[in-house]
Amino acid sequence: MSEPPQPVPESPPPPAAAPSPPAAEPYPFWTYQDMFLFFGTALAFFFVLGTGIAAVVQILHLPVRNRMLVLLPGQFLMYGFVFAFLLGLFRLQYGKPFWQSLRWFNRPPAGQVTAAWGVATAFAVALLGAALKTPDLNSPMKELLSDPVSLAVVGLLGITIGPIAEEIVFRGFLQPLFVRSLGPWAGVALAALLFGALHLQEYGNSWRHGLLISAAGAAFGWMRYRTGSTRSAAIMHAAYNGTFFAALLMTGRK
């Protein structure tokens, strides 16, 4: 009598495939459409604000030493616009955190080293200005800095809120877009040129001053790209501004 056939053992099921890692989220996540919306809204806001400030100065016939009473609130309103627009864009449009989106965090080198780069950049820009024979123009900035009170207020803003707001816009918001599209060198350069163009009017539309400020902006952009931190660029920017204001105070330049 033959034995019944033995059951064939079932082969073990194949191991489950490991889940593929989630695709990295593109950075920056905002678009050029967001950039153009920012510029369009900013231009409209600045035009209305600038017109209002000029009208108040004209109507009240404010001397230079008293113009800070009007210019200072206007400056804070401009900074407030920058923060409010980008906060609304990141939180409402994309559901993203504000500071993290702008890469505002600590990264090597240490803050003291980053500040030292800012001081070195100020000396390098000063030497470049001397080589270009940059003229000493009667610009709105020079007129404003001719008064000790205005000089102190502008200096305080220049090493605190000013660098934060400007680096948020140029190195935190604009430069990542340009670097993604054009590569690091062209992206840093384009953000720096726009940074220089922003300050042209303050220096009597002098191309030499615009070139010097663009060179400084390229140095801040290099720091942003090298470290990946907008905060590092702001520290460098603050040290750069502080060096020039310290020089003004020590020389007593009018």
pLDDT by residue (tens digit) across 40-71? Answer: 999 999 888 888 877 877 787 766 566 666 67
| Dihedral angle of Cα 70, 74, 76, 82, to the nearest 10 degrees | -170
User: What would the mean pLDDT of 211-230 be, rounded to a whole number?
Assistant: 96
Residue 161: in which H helix or E strand, if any? helix 161-167
Residue with structure tokens 């270009």? 132
* Predicted TM-score (pTM) of this structure: 0.85
Give pLDDT tens digits for 70-110: 677 778 888 999 999 999 999 999 999 999 999 999 888 88
* Cα distances (Å, whole numbers) of residue 163 to 110, 167, 233, 234: 18, 6, 9, 5
pLDDT of residue 241 exceeding 90, the answer is: yes
